[in-house]
Structure 1
Amino acid sequence: MNLGRRVLLASGLSVLLLLVAVGYVVVAGHRGSAPAVAATTVDASPGPRILFRSTDPGSMGRVATVGSGQRPGPRTVSGVACNRVYAAAGTVICLRPDGPLATYQLAVLDARLKEVQTYPLVGVPNRARVSPSGHWLAWTVFVTGDSYNGGRFSTRVGMINTVTGDTVDTLETFAVTLNGRPYRAADLNFWGVTFAGDRTFYATMSTGGRRYLVVGDVTARTVRTLVSNVECPSLSPDGTRIAFKSARDGDPSKGWRLSVLDLATMHRTALAETRSVDDQAAWLGNAEVMYAVRRGTKASDVWSVPADGSGAPTKLIPDAESPASLAAS
């Protein structure tokens, strides 16, 4: 089968999703059209740099880099535009509109942001991750049409191995163990994958009105719950901790608190960032966490904070989002 023609995460989209996605494409297209900054060659290979999506008005949506030792330092801006971007081991995942209609695609790019392959994608892009080896890509999209959800948005997670061509159309087909027991439910939702390797991953699962951190096995096609009230996990380079957002008092309407979970003890440490952070954080080495804070519908900045709960938030990259440290783990 030609994987380039395969529709990933195929599911029925309602009129609501179509209208929302059309609006999103129009905005995204406008964001990527500003030519004020000359495009240059961006290096996404392993090194002391941070890859990100620019939200500067002159380069809105473009993929860029900045030296990780400079705060903020000069940025290098490419001519490639993405709605979400992430990179590891010289492989870049770019979620972007696919033409003028309300459709999207996943683009696999090399370290020079040259297109390697594209795959049709159903849903509105939300999260993106690459495994440490650069082989596995994961993404989260918003979809509608689930009968249990009353027309509201649901999430889907998909994965693809760029070496073997193996795909996971949705985690909802995986065998689920909830609190030590096999579990099935129509309302299962998954989002926010982070990889521990080419087999093990972590993600968020929701069911019955609760959110859980799950650990999954791509080969065995299984997931099992670890703890509750953990969303958008991000595994530290040393594999010992997970940065995450948790709903305040378990209620997302009250916002989220950025925290770190020790996987050995399951101890949670609230970080010094007290603003509501609705993002999947990324690690800057093993001692810092970076994340985007929005300031309006289009603009955002990338901030960082110590991972041990000390210190104070620092603006790392102005006019940026979707950060990924390119330092080899």
Structure 2
Amino acid sequence: MHPELTWRPLTREDARASADLLNAMEAVDRTGENYTEEDTLQELVDPYADLERGSLAAFAGEVMVGYAKVRFRPVAAEVHRVFLDGGVHPDHRRRGVGTRLLRAGVEAARALHALHHPAAKLVVDVHKAEHVAGLAELVRAQGFTPVRHYRHLEHPLGDAIGDAALPDGLRVEPWSEPADEDFRRVRNLAFEDHWGATPMPPDHWRNKVVNQTFQPAASFLVRDAAGTPVAVLVTMWWEADTAATGVRDARFMVVGTVREHRGRGIASGLVAHALRAVADQGYDRASASVDSAAPPGGSGLFERAGFTPTMRYVRWALEP
């Protein structure tokens, strides 16, 4: 099959070709995701992406036309959810390239699972925008089933910012280097009961959160009267998105409250604080993604703050 293509694992030197492929996909799929070479390099140096064992890319000459890449979990108890990402250039779709890559990704997930968490149950996850043409048919044909839905929500800022305040006795502070470990620890505590979430060790945190897209002045920690951190909000911004759209979007990537402090309005006050901050810092819009079956307060929190849904994502799962 595909004699005009060459196939090999991804390497860190493929950042530019990866960005070009992803941006070609965005031109058709319209998921709002644009990339610079630095963005794709960050994915390629992920400490939990074993490129040699866990990736495959297809090339037409020097042009990358498709890829599959899996990321194993640093921690797994009963279930090890391996994340499988990938895509095919619009000019090469419906030729079997996606099928070959998807099958290779599942096999790579099996291999990395056996290497890192063999005692756990393996589940392979694919997370993609619902509207991408042909995606549902492709993954269903390989045995994947939809297990979760997520909504992408946006806030216009300006006069739409509400006036929710933090409860008395709490204070909010922006990110700082000395507080970074508190940010990470609160994120892990806040997401302990979230479906599919696992703790982020320091190397994973540095790669996925405190990277070139991280916005420290728009990321906040809430402390109680004793100085104990109880809630966190992390904002990220993609330069490539603004270059492509002209819109400076503040993405609230992490919003969480530790369990024993929920139900007090802390998250609402924190989101309102962050909305005012990003508006003052010159952002045009704020956005977030919410699990449709998240713990109480997830989706409603953002809608009450003035966010409206614009896109839906599906989490597909396979138990090979």
The alignment's TM-score, normalised by the length of structure 2, stands at: 0.29
Q: Which has the larger radius of gyration?
A: 2
The alignment's TM-score, normalised by the length of structure 1, stands at: 0.28
When you count strand as a share of all residues, which structure comes out higher? Answer: 1
